[in-house]
Amino acid sequence: MDKRCISVILGGMLLRLLLFTAFPSLPTLLGNRVEISTPVTSFKRLQEGLFLYTHGVSPYDGGVYHQAPLLLAFFSMMPSSAMATNLIYIIADIQSTLALIDIARSGWSTKSRLHESKRKEMAWPAWGVAAAFLFNPFTIAACIGRPTVVFTNTVILTAIAKAIQGRPTPATLALALSSYLSLYPCLLLAPLVLLSYDFLLHCHSTTLLPTNFSLSKFATTQVTIYFTAVACLLGLSYLITGNSWEFLASTYGVHLFLPDLTPNVGLWWYFFIEMFDPFREFFLCVFQLHLLIYAPGLTIRLRKQPLFVCITMLGILSIFKSYPSIGDTALYLSLLPLYRHIIPLMRYSFVVTSAILYATLLGPAFYHLWIYAGSGNANFFYAITLVWSLSVTLVVADALFAVLREEWEVEGNGREGKPVVQI
Amino acid sequence: MHLLSSLPKLRLFLTIITLSICLPLASTSSSVSSASSTATPSQAPSEHDYNEHLTLRPLPGNSLLASFNFKSNGSLDHGDHMLLFPRSLKQVLTASWARELHVKFTLGRWNAEEYGVQPNSGRTAGGTGVEVWAWVEAGDEEEAFARWTTLTNALSGLFCASLNFIDATRTIRPVLSFQPTGHHSDATLSRLHLLHGSLPREPVCTENLTPFLKLLPCKAKVGISTLLDGHKLFDANWQSMSIDVRPVCDDNGENCKLEMEQAVDMVVDIERSLRRRDSPIPKPRPHDQLLCDETKPYLTEDASCFPLDNLFDLGWSLSEIFGRPITGTCPFGVKEGVEALRVCLEVPDSRPVFLSVGSQERKFDPQNRCFLLPGEGYFDMILPKQRPPTLSPSTPPALFAERSFTGYGQERGGVQTILRNPSLTHSVDFVYLESLPWFMKPYLHTLSARLSGSPQANNEAFIKETYYRPALDRKRGTHLEIRMSVPRNSTVLLTYDFEKAVLRYTEYPPDANRGFDIAPAIIGILESQGVVGGVGGGEGRKVVSYLRTTSLLLYLPTPDFSMPYNVIILTSTVIALAFGTVFNILVRKFVLKSEVPKLGGRVSGLVGKVKNLLLKKRGKE
């Protein structure tokens, strides 16, 4: 690791420490924001769950705590001081940065087994990617507000980093942990397996690999490992929560059935507030299936770049999952700099940047008008969530366009920089 | 009418009266009063006794507390011999396996600072709205809840109240606050389930009073119940109607009977009652009739006035306060002894009281002046204006409790209860019970108790025991019970934070922006431990009196109720846009723009042909 990376990490760490110590009320203030904390990630709810858990009341027999049981066990072992908790969150962010640096240094985003970009020299160095993550205001807000989505992000980044380092089993285990923490990362399983497979084929000479090494065998092994790991984690949770499965309905059931309609930056809450009762189940199914459908499409079309499939899936999840927060968007936006070289090919960069800034600034204002000032109604905040979702959608779609176009440019000569159409 | 003199036929007749709700009231009343001449007390079996009395106590601020009490007994067996016990209620109790039942309808606010302790130590009063609790005999919790549902639905019909809305989200099972007051055998006790439900929003009104009075043997036609008139009762500052049914046995556990106590307590504003009499349309009093404090220096000559209170006791009479005098006596009541039908007045001997002819004064205890009702005719009581006022000091309650919301905004908030122990010598132990709806989500880790004035929370010193059952969305409300102790002459603040849920738009009531009522907190004062500092078990101590805080109004954030279609359409559009864009990019091929054939190649060909034709024609010409 070079000096620049280390100084970026140190800078990010100091900034966070400074924010935690200089503004002691900031974590509570940010943690109370609906854009940062959702019912399934809120730190205050985690504290309530911990309190109930340490006092012998099952936190899953109630409507407040919807997070994974292992978090309870983890935090009940940690010292309960605020500083210790803050340090845990800072360490999680640093671990994420380290994983990102690993991903960036491998250069897998520009040159992989099946694809080699012609714009390689434009890619950002590792320290740049790390800085884009550590000094992203969304990432900082998510770290200071202390939602548990920070841990999910760390685990996802670790999974990707391990896959690129040619260690498929740790990658799959990390992915299993992230799915255990917040369900939706399970959609990354297919691209992650492909990513590990590509790397193994590319970097190890055929002699090192078993003679009958094939994708189907490799995938079967990894999927088995994944499900075994998830089962083990669930079994462990079963033991932690006093031999009861009720945590399943209270954690994953909440992700799936949306009983808590607290506002967030996503599209679900207002839709299901206003939904007519007979159609509620139908639209729940439609919304969940809608998320599911992107995974195979992207994986097949972008077979050459599974890393970008992972990133795009994270972007789509940050818009369309049931309880999204800006922590999810922060993860997507900090993975995009890995693809710095395709940014010139994006068509709506200016519009998208303006729209994201617009939603970021107006969101809290409109929420205040609705909830505190009483001079606006729910539609104000709803409109801003629509703008936010649309703008992130545009980023996702535009980046996807740029990557596909770049792939197409690589496939033939004389295509660079010329106007194209899709037919 | 001479046929009725034999007892079985009288029973039959009374049963018919009890059941026939639609019977013209005039004929019922005449039948009862004529029956009264034939049914003498010696004919009524002792276990079916009935008595009623009225206690009147002047309160500060020219208010008057009127406590009506009606007690009747029925047999415990499952036969049809009801006599005075209302058959309709007995059938409900039998069908729902309720062994002990308490129903309270309350309205208004009991001002404990002025009025002191509640009548009957708060035993007969409930929280604002309707409150029901019952011990239901059942094998398990599920069966108990099914029977509880039967009970609340039946009571709902019986009392014309929305008791059927007490569903699982409004039902709790208190563990510390309530103990059975009747006698239950140990075998039964182990099978009893206590369920408690409250409807803080229920507006108690005349339609609840009418069925309440129908349960009385004399049905507000004779006796002291004739004073109960909806116009007067619901004009009171505070009023409570309660029904307590419990099995009562003698000391050996024999001779059990089912006792029903119906009580109506009301605090009447004497001045307002009299003003109604003088002018039915409320008008401001002319300036020369106002009682002003002339000593206030800041009052100028013109119409300003600083009103004076408690200068004298207003003069009043029963018929002025209640609109009518007591008519006759209920013929089924006990006529002799301590339990005799009577009207008692808690005023000192110095205050003159004028009675109507035929009534006599009896002294049962020194504080009370009781009067036996004359057998027939009207009974009225006149207290003339008295100056200076003769107020007997009110007993302060063991604890003053005030509960309010803290914080602002529709996202989250806090609850603060101020608990003040007025006693200079004793600490007070009590159980604090909260039953919150599921959409108000308390954070138990923020629960703290601290002395007023000290910034440091000190939960261990004040909170002895906590029982908490968290809410489940749309399934169950929060149930929080705390056993606490407040040291002598001090004030403890109990606070906790909560979060407000956003509901589906169909779950809001039509007047969503009015807010949601939160049931009053119930505080049961535990009996003192006897020896100060002695080893007292926290468990098993009896609750000696109850008090309740006021209900609260919770504002929830509301969606826009007018645009479900718009929201569905807009959100679906965004999703369709995302889906369409992404898959459009995924499935289409990239082509260089220069390679794409020019739009409308065929059209230009056609145009060329036409041009050629035209040119040919021109050439020929």
Same domain, B127 and B233: yes
* Confidence grade of residue B357 (pLDDT, cut at 50, 70, 90): confident
Tell if the CB–CB gap between A269 and B502 is shorter than 8 Å. yes
Give, in order, the Cα–Cα distances in Å from B40 to each of A242, B336, B343. Answer: 67, 12, 21
> From its phi and psi, is residue B540 left (phi > 0), alpha (psi between -120 and 50) or beta?
left
Report the distance separating Cα A366 and Cα A307, nearest Å.
37
Give the whole-angstrom CA distance, residue B93 versus residue B103. Answer: 13
Span B63-83, mean pLDDT?
A: 81
What does residue B434 show for φ and ψ, rounded to 5 degrees?
Answer: -120, 135
Contact A270 B468 (CB under 8 A): no
Domain membership of residue B145 (yes or no) is yes
Domain CATH for B446: 2.60.40.740
Q: Are B440 and B574 found together in one domain?
A: no
Cβ-contact A311, A336 below 8 angstroms: yes
> Which tokens hold the place of B275?
């003003």
Put simply, the answer to whether B588 touches A422 (Cβ < 8 Å) is yes
**Shortest CB distance from B505 goes to which of A267, A274, A397?**
A274
B369 within domain boundaries: no
B249 inside domain: yes
Tell which of A33, A274, A391 to mutate to test the B interface (max B CBs under 10 Å): A274
Q: Are strands B50-59 and B98-108 parallel, antiparallel or unpaired?
A: unpaired
- B574 and A393 in contact by Cβ < 8 A? yes
Measure the CA angle with vertex B530, ends B429 and B102; round to 5°. 50
Quick one: pLDDT at residue B522? Answer: 96
Question: With an 8 Å Cβ cutoff, are B470 and A396 in contact?
Answer: no
From chain B, the residues in CB contact with A52 under 8 A are 444, 468, 470
One domain, residues B532 and B577 = no
Rounded to whole angstroms, how far apart are CA atoms B454 and B495?
A: 14
Interface test with A, best of B448, B473, B480, B500 (most A CBs within 10 A): B473
| Structure confidence at residue B30 (pLDDT) | 35
Partner-chain residue, chosen from B558, B574, B591, that has the shortest CB–CB distance to A423: B591
Which one of A44, A46, A64 would you mutate to disrupt binding with B, by most B Cβ within 10 Å of its Cβ? A64
Residues of A in contact with B443 (CB under 8 A): 44, 47-48, 64
pTM over 0.80: yes
Reply yes or no on whether the pLDDT at B536 is more than 50: no
Question: What interhelical angle do A82-106 and A137-145 show, nearest 10?
Answer: 150
How far apart are the CA of B408 and the nearest CA of chain A, in angstroms?
7
Q: Is the CB of residue A335 less than 8 Å from the CB of residue A311?
A: yes
Asked if residue A149 lies in contact with residue A26, where contact means CB atoms within 8 angstroms, the answer is: no
Partner residue opposite A421 with nearest CB, options B441, B503, B593: B593
Contact B593 A64 (CB under 8 A): no
pLDDT at B17 over 80: no
Please list, residue by residue across B490-525, b when 16 or more beta carbons sit within 10 angstroms of its beta carbon and e when fewer do: bbbbbbbbbbbbbbbbeebeeebeeebbbbbbbbbb
Q: Residue B407 in contact with residue B414, Cβ under 8 Å?
A: yes
Residues A86, A63: Cα–Cα separation, whole Å: 26
Task: Quote the pLDDT of residue B6.
Answer: 42
pLDDT in tens, B324-353: 999 988 888 877 666 677 788 888 888 888
d(CA A332, CA A343): 15
DSSP one-letter string for A195-260:
HHHHHHHHHS-TTTS-TT--HHHHHHHHHHHHHHHHHHHHHHHHHHTTS--HHHHHHHHHHHH---
Q: How close B262 gets to chain A, by Cα (Å)? A: 38
List, in order, residues 6 or more apart from B414 with CB less than 8 Å away.
B405, B406, B407, B446, B495, B496, B497, B498
Residues B518 and B433 in one domain: yes
φ, ψ of residue B516 to 5 degrees: the values are: -115, 135
Q: Is residue A134 within a helix (H) or strand (E), and if so which, with residue range?
A: helix A126-134
Quick one: B489 and B616 in the same domain?
Answer: no
Is the pLDDT reported for residue B274 higher than 90?
no
Distance from CA of B140 to the nearest CA of A (A): 19
Type of residue found at B214: K
Strand-pairing partners, residue B223, are B327
Distance CA B471, CA A374 (A): 28
Q: Cβ of A382 and B567 within 8 Å?
A: yes
Residues of chain B found within 8 Å of residue A377, distances taken between Cβ atoms: 558-560
Whether residue B373 lies inside any domain: the answer is: no
ipTM exceeding 0.90, yes/no: yes
Minimal C-alpha gap between B148 and chain A (Å):
23
Of A63, A293, A420, the CB nearest to B590: A420
Same domain, B202 and B53: yes
Q: What percent of chain A has pLDDT over 70?
A: 99
Which residues in chain A have their CB less than 8 angstroms from residue B473's CB? 63, 259-260
CB contact under 8 A, A32 and B412: yes
Same domain, B584 and B496: no
Contact state of A274 with B570 under an 8 Å Cβ cutoff: no
Chain A residues touching B570 at Cβ < 8 A: 386
The C-alpha atoms of residue B289 and residue B286 are separated, in whole angstroms, by: 6
Q: Which two tokens stand for residue B62?
A: 């020219």
* Same domain membership, residue B583 and residue B537: no
Q: Is the pLDDT of residue B5 over 70?
A: no
Domain with B63 in it: 2-270
User: Distance, in angstroms, between B288 CA and closest chain A CA?
Assistant: 46
Is the pLDDT at B303 greater than 80? The verdict is: no
- Which residue out of A35, A45, A48 would a mutagenesis test of the B interface target, given it has the greatest number of B Cβ atoms within 10 Å? A48
- pLDDT of the residue at B604: 66
Q: Are the CB atoms for B449 and B494 separated by under 8 Å?
A: yes
The pLDDT of residue B371: 86
B231/B242 Cα distance (integer angstroms): 18
Whole-number pLDDT of residue A13: 96
Per-residue pLDDT of chain A (423 residues; tens, 9 = 90+): 789 999 999 999 999 999 999 999 999 999 999 999 999 999 999 999 999 999 999 999 988 999 999 999 999 998 888 899 999 999 999 999 999 999 999 999 998 888 999 888 889 999 999 999 999 999 999 999 999 999 999 999 999 999 999 899 999 999 999 999 999 999 999 999 999 999 988 887 666 677 778 899 999 999 999 999 999 999 999 999 989 999 999 999 999 999 999 999 999 999 999 999 999 999 999 999 999 999 999 999 999 999 999 999 999 999 999 999 999 999 999 999 999 999 999 999 999 999 999 999 999 999 999 999 989 999 999 999 999 999 999 999 999 999 999 999 998 888 888 888 888
Q: Is the pLDDT of residue B534 over 60?
A: no
pLDDT at A191: 96
Which of B469, B575, B584, B596 should be substituted to probe chain A, the one whose Cβ sees the most A Cβ atoms within 10 Å?
A: B575
Query: Which residues lie across from B430 on neighbouring strands?
Result: B484, B525
| Residue A370 Cα, gap to closest chain B Cα (Å) | 8
Give the closest-approach CA distance of B193 to chain A in angstroms: 21
Task: Enter the DSSP assignment of A275.
Answer: S
Strand partners, B247: B258
Which residues neighbour B175 within 8 Å (Cβ) at sequence distance 6 or greater? B467, B481
Q: Which two tokens mark B403?
A: 């509960």
Contact B59, B394 (CB under 8 A): yes
What's the pLDDT tens digit per position in B508-532? Answer: 999 999 999 999 999 999 988 654 4
| For residue B388, cis peptide bond before it (omega within 30 degrees of 0) | yes
Other residues' Cβ atoms within 10 Å of the Cβ of residue A76? 13
Please indicate, yes or no, if residue B545 is contained in any of the structural domains. yes
Of B29, B57, B39, B28, give the one whose Cα is nearest residue B2. B39
B473 closest CB neighbour out of A57, A260, A418? A260
Total domains, chain B: 3
- For chain B, give the mean pLDDT: 84
Contact B571 A290 (CB under 8 A): no
Of B524, B554, B584, the last residue of a domain is B554
Verify that B207 and B233 share a domain, yes or no. Answer: yes
Contact B502 A273 (CB under 8 A): yes
Q: Do A415 and B568 touch (CB under 8 A)?
A: no
Asked whether residue B358 is assigned to any structural domain, the reply reads no
Contacts of residue A253 in chain B, CB cutoff 8 Å?
A: none
Q: From CA A58, how far away is CA B469, in angstroms rounded?
A: 9
Same domain, B576 and B436: no
- Residues of chain B positioned with their CB less than 8 A from the CB of A269: 502
**Record: contact B443-A48, CB cut-off 8 A:** yes
Taken as a whole, chain B contains a residue count of 621
pLDDT of residue B20: 37
Point out the least confidently predicted range of A51-55, B282-286, B393-397, B491-495: B282-286
Closest CB to A271 among B408, B568, B589? B568
Q: How far is A37 from chain B (nearest CA, A)?
A: 13
Distance in angstroms (rounded) separating the CA atoms of residues B321 and B317: 6
A-to-B residue pairs, Cβ atoms closer than 8 angstroms: 169
Residue B39 has pLDDT above 80, yes or no: no
Nearest CB to A274 within list B468, B567, B585:
B567
Cβ contact A61–B472 (<8 Å): yes
Last residue of a domain, one of B233, B248, B270: B270
Whether residues B474 and A259 touch (CB distance < 8 A) is answered with yes
Q: Which residues contact B178 (CB under 8 A, 6 or more apart)?
A: B133, B194, B196, B524, B543
**Given B502, B558, B581, which is nearest A261 (Cβ)?**
B502
Q: How far apart are the first and last CA of chain B?
A: 132
B567 contacts A301? CB cut-off 8 A: no
Domain end among B270, B288, B315: B270
pLDDT per position as a tens digit, B390-435: 777 778 899 999 999 999 999 999 999 999 999 999 999 999 999 9
Give pLDDT, residue B334. Answer: 74
Based on the domain organization, do B497 and B404 belong to the same domain? yes
Instruction: Give me the residue from B408, B438, B574 closest to A389, CB to CB.
Output: B574
Interface mutation target, options B169, B411, B563, chain A, most CBs of A under 10 Å: B411
Res B204 pLDDT > 70 = yes
Local structure of residue B482 (DSSP, 8 states): E
Residues B419/B492, Cβ–Cβ less than 8 Å: yes
Residue B29 has pLDDT above 50, yes or no: no
Round to whole Å and give the CA distance between B223 and B330.
5
Radius of gyration for chain A, computed over Cα atoms and rounded to the nearest angstrom: 22
Residue B390 lies in a domain: no
| Higher-pLDDT residue of B347, B104 | B104
Q: Could you tell me if residue B101 is inside a domain?
A: yes
Instruction: Give the nearest chain A residue to B504 (CA atoms).
Output: A273
Give pLDDT, residue B615.
Answer: 81
Fill in the DSSP letter of residue A148.
T
User: Per the CB < 8 Å rule, is A408 touching B590?
Assistant: yes
Q: How far apart are CA B114 and CA B59, in angstroms?
A: 8
Same domain membership, residue B450 and residue B418: yes
B472-483 core/surface letters (b: 16 or more CB in 10 A; e: else): bbeebbbbbbbb
Q: How far apart are CA B161 and CA B207, in angstroms?
A: 8
Q: A57, B470: Cβ pair inside 8 Å?
A: yes
Identity of the residue in A270, A301, A372 whose CB atom sits nearest the CB atom of B408: A372
